Amino acid sequence: MIYSVRGNLILMDAGIAVVECGGVGYRVQTSISTQKTLKLNSEVMLYTYMNVREDAMELFGFATKAELATFKMLIAITGVGPKVALAILSELSSEQIAMAVSAGDSKTLTRASGVGPKLAQRIVLELKDKIKGTVDTEGFDSGKGSVIADTGNVPKAVAALAVLGYSAADVTPILSRLDPSMSVEAMIAATLRQMA
């Protein structure tokens, strides 16, 4: 519906940013990490997701496409609504969520408000299934048949980026140019920078 909003940031409150576009102020719910990138009374651009319910229409905004993609994947999980997804993204970056899921670390997700141990385990389980659909355990991209380097942390980075919605075919050329001894988080950050 509304892909993005660009305009002057006229108000910022806890979890809320009001962006004035063409004389209309859009109330956008945001994560704390997105709010840290915003400056009051300056031009901002947020990627948005509109949630329509019987009793409300809510607009959620994110500083990056990766954060928006992670939000969409989280709300697709049973028991994770937009508020819980925002709480998770306020506590953890997209890269940290991807790392926790690929490592099977549900305890990290419980740091977010409203996420108990059972919900955290469900998130890890359901997102891991999405990774398996993108990259198989042999190190081949199941859709394209291309070989993924089986050195260092590259396979872990490919799996983590798959959680963020990137295919192995898209990220493998970038990852193959990086030093295989880099940490997985550094590889993910470098790849996201080059893809932006």
The pLDDT tens digits for 175-193 are 878 887 888 888 888 888 8
Q: Are 89 and 114 in contact (CB under 8 A)?
A: no
Please check whether residues 73 and 110 belong to one and the same domain: yes
pTM exceeds 0.85: no
Torsion angle of C-alpha atoms 23, 24, 29, 34, degrees rounded to 10: -20
DSSP 67-130: HHHHHHHHHTSTT--HHHHHHHHHHS-HHHHHHHHHHT-HHHHTTSTT--HHHHHHHHHHHHHH
Q: Are residues 139 and 190 in the same domain?
A: yes
Integer Cα distance of 191 and 50 in angstroms? 28
Whether residue 185 is found in the same domain as residue 141: yes
Of 114, 129, 144, the residue that ends a domain is 129
* Gyration radius of the chain's alpha carbons: 18
Widest CA span in the chain? 54
- What angle is formed at CA 14 by the lines to CA 126 and CA 51, rounded to 5 degrees? 45
> What is the Cα–Cα distance from 194 to 7, expressed in whole angstroms?
26
**Per-residue pLDDT averaged across 107-118, rounded?**
90
Q: How many domains does the chain have?
A: 3
Tell me: do 31 and 77 sit in the same domain. no
If asked whether residues 150 and 171 sit together in one domain, one would say yes
Q: Do residue 101 and residue 54 come from a single domain?
A: no
CATH number reported for the structural domain that contains residue 71 in this entry: 1.10.150.20
**What pLDDT band is residue 60 in, cutting at 50, 70 and 90?**
very high
Of 44, 62, 80, the domain-final residue: 62
Residues 73 and 113 in one domain: yes
Q: Which domain holds residue 107?
A: 67-129
Asked whether the predicted pLDDT for residue 50 surpasses 90, the reply is yes
- φ/ψ of 159, rounded to 5, equals -65, -40
Mean of all residue pLDDT scores within the chain = 83
**15 has pLDDT over 80:** yes
- What are the structure tokens assigned to 7, written together? 């305009």
